[in-house]
């Protein structure tokens, strides 16, 4: 067994288990921690208004449904395409489904190869667009730190390496696939412990602010 195969076996085998354990366990731990902290505050839980919260979440999940989404057409388009592709592509990719099938014999609906390719490209382009925005927009540049570029890179590299591996570009397929798996695992591990956690916190913060605005009898979208 050569060096590459042993690395491949590691990132494909035990490290995947570690990744999912950390991702799922870490996310549950973080959410539990935050919610139990919020219970200690006098003004968070007694003021939860589920109707207002649900309205607020829905309005911000639908493209162009809130005023700020409408005001910034380009940014809204990019950010919605980016987030949808970021979540949907890995889950419904054919090759990932084959991996599930090989391991546990489960499979589900998959994207056509060409569509998945375009969606990956959208993520890559959106990441570059975010990077450019971070550098050239003054109000964003003023609040950008190395951690912001880091979390952008964490989201960027799994898709870049996946795209390159699929088309067998630059590096040999096996090396690229190892890099792809590794970056993907880094991303999953990073979600609970970095600001990528906004994927979960979105619902909590919107619930809180949606309830607040419902109490003030106004809208927050």
Partner 1 sequence: MVVEKQGFCREYIEFLRKRAPNPDIGLDETIKELTPEKIEKTIKAVIGGRSARIKTVLDTCVHCGLCAEACQWYLSNDKDPTYAPVAKMRMTIWEMIKRDGKVDAEFIKQCARIVFTECNICHRCSMYCPFGLDITFIIGMVRRICFLLGVVPQRMMDQDHAHATTLNQVWMSQNDWLDAMQWLEEEAGAGFKNIRIPIDKEGAEVMWLPLGAEPKTGTYHVDRVAKIMHVAGVDWTVPGKDCWDSSNMAMFLRDFVTMQRIVRGLYENAFRLRVRRLALTE
Residues from 33 through 52 that contact partner 1 (CB under 8 A): 34, 37-38, 40-41, 44
Question: Rounded to whole angstroms, what are the CA distances from 162 to 59, 87, 100, 179?
Answer: 33, 14, 17, 9
215 interacts with partner 1 by CB under 8 A: no
To partner 1, the closest distance from the beta carbon of 75 in angstroms equals 7
Cβ count near 177 (within 10 Å): 22
Contact with partner 1 (CB under 8 A) among 19, 56, 89, 161: 56
Residue 211 to residue 220: CA distance in whole angstroms: 10
To partner 1, the closest distance from the beta carbon of 202 in angstroms equals 6
- What lies within 8 Å, CB to CB, of 77 at 6+ separation is 63
- Per-residue mark of binding to partner 1, 78-117 (x: CB under 8 A): ----------------------------------------
b/e per residue, 90-112, with b = 16+ CB within 10 A?
bebbeebbeeeeeeeeeeeebbe
Q: Which spans of this chain sit near partner 1 (rule: CB under 8 A)?
A: 34, 37-38, 40-41, 44, 56, 60, 67-68, 71-72, 75, 137-145, 148, 151, 195, 197-198, 201-202, 204-206, 208-210, 212-213, 219-221
């Amino acid at each position: 067994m050569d060096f590459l195969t042993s690395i491949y076996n590691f990132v494909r085998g035990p490290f995947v288990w570690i990744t999912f354990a950390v991702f799922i366990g870490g996310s549950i731990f973080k959410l539990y921690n935050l919610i139990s902290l919020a219970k200690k505050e006098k003004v968070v839980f007694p003021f939860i208004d589920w109707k207002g919260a649900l309205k607020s979440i829905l309005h911000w999940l639908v493209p162009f449904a809130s005023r700020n989404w409408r005001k910034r057409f380009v940014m809204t388009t990019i950010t919605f395409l980016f987030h949808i592709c970021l979540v949907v592509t890995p889950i419904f990719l054919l090759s990932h489904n084959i991996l599930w099938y090989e391991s546990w014999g489960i499979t589900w609906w998959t994207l056509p190869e060409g569509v998945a390719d375009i969606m990956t490209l959208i993520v890559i382009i959106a990441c570059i667009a975010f990077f450019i925005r971070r550098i050239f927009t003054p109000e964003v540049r003023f609040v950008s730190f190395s951690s912001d570029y880091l979390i952008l890179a964490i989201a960027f590299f799994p898709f870049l390496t996946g795209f390159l591996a699929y088309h067998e570009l630059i590096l040999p397929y096996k090396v690229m696939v190892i890099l792809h798996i590794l970056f993907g695992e880094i991303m999953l591990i990073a979600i609970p412990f970095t600001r990528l956690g906004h994927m979960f916190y979105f619902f909590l913060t919107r619930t809180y602010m949606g309830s607040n605005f419902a109490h003030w009898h106004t809208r927050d979208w």
